Amino acid sequence: MWERGVAMYRTRLDRENEPGVKKVSRSVIRRLPVYLRVLDNLIGNDVEVISSRELSERTGFTAEQIRKDLAHFGAFGTKGTGYNTEALRSEILKIIGLHEKTAVIVVGAGHLGTALTRYNVNKNPYTHVVAAFDTSPEVVGDKILDVEVLHVSEMEEVVSKHNVRVAILAVPSEHAQAAADQVAGSGVKVIFNFAPLWVRAPDGVFVHNADLSVELQSLIYYATKEREKAH
């Protein structure tokens, strides 16, 4: 991640038996917010219906893939016409779980943590950054936009009070695993980790390691030879 996307980084696939839960792949889930953004734009321009072909042109995914993705969750379209933009948007919000603003915390209020806090406050209409956390007395008490920087000792209370289920980790590598343990212990269900180190979490906690240095290093491969252009 970003994208890691994404490839699967684990020794064994242990996605077994989840009874009753239709398994939907990470790739599908990744594309949903992209559809969402296009729908937001269309609705802003009073477009009421869109076909999978038009969505394809605006997202870069094939029309078949878009139809398959949506079909995982139900039949939202009208044959011969397309998809109602408002209705589809509402369905996608429900699928992802964005129909209510998601409470998020940012752990680590250094440069990256500050940037990520601002980024989400300004650019992400579906999340609410409840607080940022740090250990340094120099930043605890500061505000990033309207977000207070609190001491990490207050984390558990904040997480449980606001029912926070998502944490963005932007702490130095040497503290990343400890921070992950702490947020997982506080009840957070998703960890979005930016430290250049793969943090582990107990079962039931979903970890996405963004790892910007690894991502950049892998991109350098495409700088030398002429290769295909991709996402």
Pick out residues in 23-62 that bind DNA (CB under 7 A). 25-28, 51-53, 61-62
Give the one residue of 19, 80, 137, 204 binding a copy of itself; rule: CB under 8 A. 204
Instruction: Please say whether the beta carbons of 109 and 149 come within 8 A.
Output: yes
Q: Compare residues 153 and 202 and give the one whose CB is closer to a copy of itself.
A: 202
Residues 44-73 touching a copy of itself, rule: CB under 8 A, are: 56-57, 59-62
Helix (H) or strand (E) holding 148: strand 147-151
Please state, in angstroms and rounded to a whole number, the distance separating the CA atoms of residues 1 and 147: 24
Give the one residue of 127, 158, 181, 186 binding a copy of itself; rule: CB under 8 A. 127
Instruction: Please say whether the beta carbons of 50 and 67 come within 8 A.
Output: no
146: contact with a copy of itself by CB under 8 A? no
CB under 8 A: which stretch of 67-75, 132-140, 153-161, 216-224 binds a copy of itself? Answer: 216-224
Give DSSP secondary structure letters for 75-127.
--EETTTEEEHHHHHHHHHHHHT-SSPEEEEEE--SHHHHHHHHHHHHH-TTE
At its nearest, how many Å lie between a copy of itself and the CB of residue 104? 8
Please state, in angstroms and rounded to a whole number, the distance separating the CA atoms of residues 75 and 88: 10
81: contact with DNA by CB under 7 A? yes
Instruction: Please say whether the beta carbons of 52 and 82 come within 8 A.
Output: yes
13: contact with DNA by CB under 7 A? yes
Residues 83-122 touching DNA, rule: CB under 7 A, are: 83
| 110's tokens | 């250094």
Number of chain positions touching DNA (CB under 7 A):
28
116: contact with a copy of itself by CB under 8 A? yes
Among DNA, a copy of itself, none, what binds residue 76 when CB lies within 5 to 8 Å by partner kind?
A: DNA
Q: Which residues, 6+ apart, have CB-to-CB distance to 223 below 8 Å?
A: none
Among DNA, a copy of itself, none, what binds residue 32 when CB lies within 5 to 8 Å by partner kind?
A: a copy of itself
At its nearest, how many Å lie between DNA and the CB of residue 206? 15
